[in-house]
Structure formats: structure tokens, C-alpha cells
Copies of this chain bind each other. A is one copy, B any other.
Amino acid sequence: MTRSPAELKKMLGHFKAVVRSARVKMTPQRLEIYRETARTDDHPALETIYRNVRKKMPGVSLDTVYRTLDLFRELGLVSTLRPLPDRARFDANITPHHHFICTRCGLTRDFTDPKLDSLKVPSAARALGCVESAHVEVRGLCAACANDKNTKPTDRT
């Protein structure tokens, strides 16, 4: 779904402000990649962003899109639907539960909460399709990462 011109304009303003204050360069590639990412609320995959950006800027390399989106993520301009490292992870627990995910090392822990388990899916979500499940995803730093901010994170996968 395309965003309104007003909304897009506001987001582009925010983008420029963040780029300026982070003292990173404002390049045509970055502007176009941001514009394409913000154009819709479809949460595009990297490949999709790349394809659309190349329609306007045929020279852009895939590597640039990877690097640029990673930069945007560091700057807080975009989020990924799963924190990195982004490999699939498996869960044999099929009872209702929720997840705490460390955005630094990938540690993923279950937690349960009676209030959340009986979470009522709002009508805004039910309107989008046939709901099968709902769970809460909490992101943050695990205790170990909060303590060792300096050391390289160990990959807890």
C-alpha cells in the first residue's frame, strides 16, 4: 500500500535530518533506497527494493543496497522484521508463548504471561485475513550483552 505524499514527505525530512546529524554522506543512492523503502508499507524484501531502485538508477549494485539498508538499520531509520542475525530459527514448543530476542547476540528466550496468552486480536488485524496465531515479540539486550557492550557478541544461535 502506497503511503500518502504528505506522509512520505515527512519521512524524507526525518531521513535527511538523521543523515545530517549522523554525519554520513547523503548520496543519490541512499536517497533513492530510502525513498523506495518508505514508498509503501509493504515491508519489501531487499531484492524488491533493489529491483525498484534500479528502475530509476540502473547502475546501483546489489552490494550497495545491502550496505545501505544495514546503515539505515544502524541509524534507526528502518527496522527489520527479525533482528539480525537473520537465519531461520526453530521452535518445538507448540504451546502458546512469547519471545524475548536480543538484538545483539540473537539469544531468544520464551516467556509466558497469562494476560498476553489470552491476548485479543484486534479487529484491525482480523480484517486482514484468517488469523491463526498471535504472539508478542519483545526486543532488547539480554543481560549478558547489556554487561559486555564492548566485547564482540557471541552468536547465540
Q: Is the CB of B82 within 8 A of A88?
A: yes
What number of copies of this chain does the assembly contain?
2
Q: Mark A111-127, 1 if CB is under 8 A from B, else 0.
A: 11101100111101100
Q: Mark A95-137, 1 if CB is under 8 A from B, else 0.
A: 0001111110000111111011001111011001111111111
A130, chain B: closest CB distance, angstroms: 5
Alpha-carbon distance between A122 and B91 when the two chains are bound, in angstroms: 21
Q: Is the CB of B128 within 8 A of A122?
A: no
A residues 42-93 touching B (CB-CB < 8 Å):
42-49, 69, 72, 76-82, 84-93
A141 within 8 A of B: yes
Known: A34-B92, A139-B134, A157-B45. A100 touches B87 (CB 8 A): no
Chain B: CB-nearest residue to A39: B92
Complex contacts, A99 vs chain B, CB 8 Å = 43, 81
Known: A88-B81, A111-B125. A132 touches B136 (CB 8 A): no
What are 9 inter-chain pairs, A to B, with CB distance below 8 A?
A45-B85, A69-B90, A82-B88, A100-B125, A100-B129, A111-B124, A128-B142, A130-B141, A136-B137
10 further contact pairs, Cβ within 8 A, besides A111-B124, A128-B140, A136-B137:
A41-B93, A44-B157, A79-B94, A80-B89, A81-B88, A111-B125, A115-B122, A121-B138, A128-B142, A129-B142
Which positions in A face B, CB cutoff 8 Å?
1, 11, 34, 37-38, 41-49, 69, 72, 76-82, 84-94, 98-103, 108-113, 115-116, 119-122, 124-125, 128-143, 145-146, 156-157
